[in-house]
Amino acid sequence: MRVAVFGVRSYDRQFLTAANARHSHDLLLIDAGLSPLTVSLAAGCEGICVFVNDSLDEPVIEGLAGLGVKIVALRCAGYNNVDLAAAARAGIAVTRVPAYSPHAVAEFTVGLLLALDRKIHRAWSRVRENNYALDGLVGRNLHGRLVGVVGTGQIGALVAKTLRAGFGCEVLASDPVADPQLEAIGVRYTSPEVLLREAEIVTLHCPLTPETRHIVNARSMAEAQPGLVLVNTSRGALIDTRALIDALKSRKVGGVALDVYEQEAGIFFDDLSSEIIDDDVLQRLLTFPNVLVTGHQAFLTEEALTAIAETTLTSLSDFEAGRPLVNAVVVPSAG
């Protein structure tokens, strides 16, 4: 199948090309992301492959359908960037990679928390200038701290297990579905409201939905523990970033580690080091000494990239052969 792959970076090229040796699709590797301006690049392709920040709203979907595109293969787990109803109307199948390596994201989450809380990122830049003073680098033990894990699916469960069994944290969790294996090691389920009010550290692992958008907001942060430490490796819009800046300025929030940001599209995944960035919210965030931001890289391990490439190309092969799409995204029913 001829497939237009949008938003290709060096690592996509490497891992997709390697996996394609077993699938033999005709991959058109395109640096640009998918947008109304670039949709025409999919001309002549039956399939397209996209990533988290490619916006598949109704006009883009209609544009793809007009070009004869029949399948959108997301090379990521989340699908909040796709208008599924529009895709269904256009007769376009949508697939994703539901689980490529929850370990990749969970391990990065714990790494971010440790780096932030023990000020490793600040120590690194000091030592590079031969400044070995420790003033201002005092951290806290993780052991015994009360951590709240919002969403205990594949990634959140690994984070909760690591923090509870590995570091000896007290762990609160919120999820519509409790995990008995976590309960067995002492993780206590509660409502999101109680979790956000009581936890000293909150880490977010639920999907972005209308219900979870801005789950961390001005009110929740006002009611949170003083000095709250917040980690988000899920989706940026789970946090109201403007409210977060206010809470950092008032010292209510004591530290933030973000791998995702609600306005990351058009910024993350690109080298903008010589550009003027228009986003004042992100720029303000980066001025705080107790904020650590990474550019949506929690997934970025060799194991995850291998699994992503294989699962994505398998979906395309299955579609071409008329086999069932095991990783199809289920379209919510109308009404």
Is residue 175 near ligand NAD by the rule CB under 6 A?
yes
Binding window for ligand NAD (CB under 6 A); candidates: 2-10, 27-35, 57-65, 207-215: 207-215
Is residue 23 near ligand NAD by the rule CB under 6 A?
no
- x-or-dash pattern for ligand NAD, window 52-81, by CB under 6 A? -------------------------xx---
Size of the site for ligand NAD (CB under 6 A): 29
Q: Give the containing element (helix H, strand E) for 291.
A: strand 291-293
Is residue 295 near ligand NAD by the rule CB under 6 A?
no
Binding window for ligand NAD (CB under 6 A); candidates: 31-39, 58-66, 88-96, 206-214: 206-214
| Closest distance to ligand NAD from the beta carbon of 290 (Å) | 21
| Positions marked catalytic | 235, 264, 296
One-character DSSP codes across 184-232:
HTT-EE--HHHHHHH-SEEEE-SPP-TTTTTSB-HHHHHHSPTTEEEEE
Binding window for ligand NAD (CB under 6 A); candidates: 67-75, 122-130, 239-247, 291-299: 291-299
Cβ proximity to ligand NAD: between 123 and 237 the closer is: 237
Show the tokens assigned to 285. 């965030």
Binding window for ligand NAD (CB under 6 A); candidates: 16-24, 144-152, 160-168, 277-285: 144-152
Is residue 93 near ligand NAD by the rule CB under 6 A?
no
Measure Cα distances from 305 to 52, 261, 312, 323 in Å.
Answer: 14, 22, 10, 24
Cβ proximity to ligand NAD: between 35 and 81 the closer is: 81
Measure Cα distances from 128 to 90, 114, 124, 131 in Å.
Answer: 55, 20, 6, 7
One-character DSSP codes across 292-332:
EE--S-TT-SHHHHHHHHHHHHHHHHHHHHT---TTBPPPP
Is residue 236 near ligand NAD by the rule CB under 6 A?
no
Is residue 7 near ligand NAD by the rule CB under 6 A?
no
Which residue number places its CB atom closest to ligand NAD?
153
Cβ proximity to ligand NAD: between 225 and 232 the closer is: 232
Beta strands across the sheet bearing 47-50: 26-29, 2-5, 47-50, 71-74, 93-95
Among candidate residues 280, 220, 281, the one with its CA nearest the CA of residue 252: 220
Is residue 259 near ligand NAD by the rule CB under 6 A?
yes
d(CA 193, CA 55): 31
Is residue 150 near ligand NAD by the rule CB under 6 A?
yes
Pick from 207, 227, 266, 295: which binds ligand NAD (CB under 6 A)? 207
Interface contacts to ligand NAD, rule CB under 6 A: 77-78, 102, 105, 150-156, 174-177, 192, 205-207, 211-212, 233-235, 259-260, 296, 298-299
